[in-house]
Structure 1
Amino acid sequence: MVLKTIYIVRHGYRENWLPEDQQRDSPLGDNESDPLLAPHGVEQAHELADYISDKLEPKPELIFSSPFYRCIETIEPTAKKLGLKIYLDRGLGEWYRRSRSHIPEPATIDVLSQYFAALSDEWLPETVVPSLEGEEEDELLERCRLFWEKFIPKVESLYPQVTSVILVTHAALKIALGMSLMGYQNTREFLRVEHGGDGVSTRIQASTCSLDRYEKNTNGWVMTMNGNTEFLSAGPEMNWHFATAQFEAGSKEDIEARKKAAQVANARPCT
């Protein structure tokens, strides 16, 4: 059998987006680059798990996650409900620009297994390892293209009975993975009609814990669910896109820019 359905979800709301006096220390010692989920993000993770286990069809048969803590924490409730292991792949890891002063490297599976019992090393070696020098947008898209080139045949070879998988990743990756899977050459393009867009205004949505679905047909992979948050009690939050964001998703600069934009919006007189 061949892979027919791919789900991609962004991690939940991060702890380091809260006021400093509400933040806990990450067990991995890096609150900025590898934070926990905030309590709200944990709630989102459980809402996601309930939706996947109760309503989503077809159900994912394998789970793959970025090795960053917040992604594993996001999908752990789903793994428990479905009775599945979690496979890590650095190809799904966070995007960092080349201009960043420090490129974080995720913890190893040996370290992460101390905190997450469902992790499995059966997927090793990973498909792609991102450059520790950072990536420009075109390099990220190429990473994702190479990821699919290796990932799909590997799944179909190792797990020939599996037709549906779910990937847990980050905002920029959620977009770049989807665009490369559908054959786009730029992360900033609008989606064509056959992918659920109108060619002039629709892009992949990447709010926290939002869920995308891609299905394979005779013409390739098509998007049949874009940024679904119907299962989240608070709806879409912290949406991000290459075309509208000046900073890396979730970074301090991103959060500060969002705060300033909100202050400006709130200061505008009513008309």
Structure 2
Amino acid sequence: MTVKTIYIIRHGYRSNWLPEKEQLPILTGVDSDPQLAPHGVEQAKQLAGFISKELSPKPQLIFSSPMYRCVQTVNPTAEALGLDIFIEFGIGEWFKRNRGQIPKPLEASNMKKYFSRVSESWNSHTMTPSQEGETEEEIFNRCAAFWPKFIPKVEQQFPNAECILLLGHAASKITLGMTLMGYKNNRDYLREEDNGDGKTTRIQAGTCSLDQYKLDENTGKWHLKINGKTSYLQNGTEMNWDYGTSKFVAGSDEDIAYRRKLAEQAKRAESLVDGIPAESGSSRTFSKL
């Protein structure tokens, strides 16, 4: 059979996005590999409820980035559907070349110590991101090279699978989608046939947001049918990110600092209008930016 439906989802709200005193420890010992915040755990449960009860067709296979927060996000869905989780480095995080040391995520054998649903029966290195980091062009090239290797590999190992789910990060979620549909770069606007208008619409990448891609079997082309769905989340879209308007890598310290700065500026402006002094905000006052 042929893979005909692909869901791509971003992980939930990260612990290191909270104020420092509220952050949870990194369990894996891998740099930049935080747990989900309690809010992210709730998002993962809400996502699992939607997928298991409402989404159609249902995923038959689950693939996750090797980062803890990604496996943690998709684990409730795997539990609800009774599926294994396959680790796949090809959909992993984007680290820029100027970052310095690039984190080396856990292999499936070690991640299985934390999540029993993780299976070692998949060769996790369809593609492996460079340990020197990647430019925006290089992550695009990585994802473009990923699909021609990954889909035939899935169809060979799981010949009855028509619907699969990939759980990754904002940058990889967007780039995987753009390369799957045959766009030339990460910043293109979506054409009408891909649920866009060609002028303003890009792939949305809020936390725990879901995209659905369908294969046109007549043309062999993939099209985006659901873009960044978050209606199943109690707080809707949070921490949305894209290559065109965001100044920093998604979820990085610089990104979070910038979002907090914007939130504080907006709060001060609001207090001036209302004539009420601005108060210190909650840990997620900037989360919908």
TM-score normalised by the shorter chain: which range applies? over 0.9
**Quick check: 1:122 aligned with 2:133?**
no
Per the TM alignment, residue 26 of structure 1 is displaced from its structure 2 partner at its CA by: 1.4
Number of equivalenced pairs: 270
Partner of 1:39: 38
Partner of 1:172 in structure 2? 171
User: 4+ residue runs of structure 1 moved beyond 6 angstroms?
Assistant: none
Q: Which deviates more from structure 2 when the two are superposed, residues 174-183 or residues 124-133?
A: 124-133
Structure 1: any 5+ residue segments left out of the alignment? none
AA partner of residue 53 (structure 1): S
Instruction: Map residues 54-133 of structure 1 onto 2, 5 A cutoff.
Output: 54-133=53-132
| Range moving further from structure 2, 121-130 or 155-164 | 121-130
The CA distance in 1 between the partners of 2:254 and 2:38, in whole Å, is 22
Query: Secondary structure of the equivalent of 2:98?
Result: coil
SS at match of 2:226: strand
Per-residue CA deviations over 1:232-265 (Å, capped at 9, x if unaligned) read 0010000011111111110111000001111122
Q: Match for residue 222 of structure 1?
A: 223
Q: CA deviation at 1:110?
A: 2.1
What per-residue deviation string (whole Å, max 9, x for no partner) do you get for residues 62-93 of structure 1?
00000000000000000001000000010011
- Partner in structure 2 of residue 12 of structure 1: 12
Mapped pair 1:270 → 2:269: no
Counterpart mapping for 1:16-27 below 5 A? 16-27=16-27
1:142-183 deviation digits (Å, cap 9, x = unpaired): 100111011110111111111000000000000000000000
What is the deviation of 1:29? 2.5
Question: How many angstroms apart in 1 are the aligned matches of 2:139 and 2:25?
Answer: 30
TM-score by length of 1: 0.97
Cα distance between partner residues in 1 of 2:37 and 2:195: 32
- Percentage of identical aligned residues: 53
The aligned counterpart of 2:278 is none
Task: Give the C-alpha shift of residue 125 in structure 1.
Answer: 4.8
CA shift digits 1:12-61 (9 cap, x unpaired): 0000001111112111134x600000000000000000000000000000
Give the alignment's Cα RMSD to 1 decimal.
Answer: 1.1
Partners of 2:28 and 2:124 lie apart in 1 by: 23
Q: Structure 1 residue 242 and structure 2 residue 243: aligned?
A: yes
Higher mean C-alpha displacement, 165-174 vs 120-129:
120-129
Distance 2:140 2:227 in 1: 19
- For 2:242 and 2:268, locate their aligned partners in 1 and report how far apart those are by CA, in whole Å: 25
* Aligned-pair CA distance for 1:101: 1.4
| Corresponding residue of 1:135 | 134
Distance 1:27 1:264 in 2: 34
- Counterpart residue number, 1:190: 189
Does the 8 Å CA contact 2:64/2:167 hold for their aligned counterparts? yes
Cα distance in 2 for residues equivalent to 1:21 and 1:100? 25
Contact kept, 8 Å, 2:109 with 2:120, in 1: the verdict is: no
TM-score normalised to structure 2 length: 0.91
Paired residues of 2:190 and 2:202 also in contact (CA < 8 A):
yes
Q: Which moved more, 1:259-268 or 1:32-41?
A: 259-268
Matched AA of 1:36 = Q
Which residue in 2 is equivalent to 1:251?
252
The one-letter amino acid of 1:240's match is W
CA distance in 2, matches of 1:96, 1:27: 20
Partner of 2:3: 3
The alignment partner of 2:238 has SS state of coil
Aligned equivalents of 1:160, 1:111: Cα separation in 2 = 28
The structure with more radius of gyration: 2
| SS of residue paired to 1:99 | helix
Taking the aligned partners of 1:134 and 1:247, their CA distance within structure 2 comes to: 15
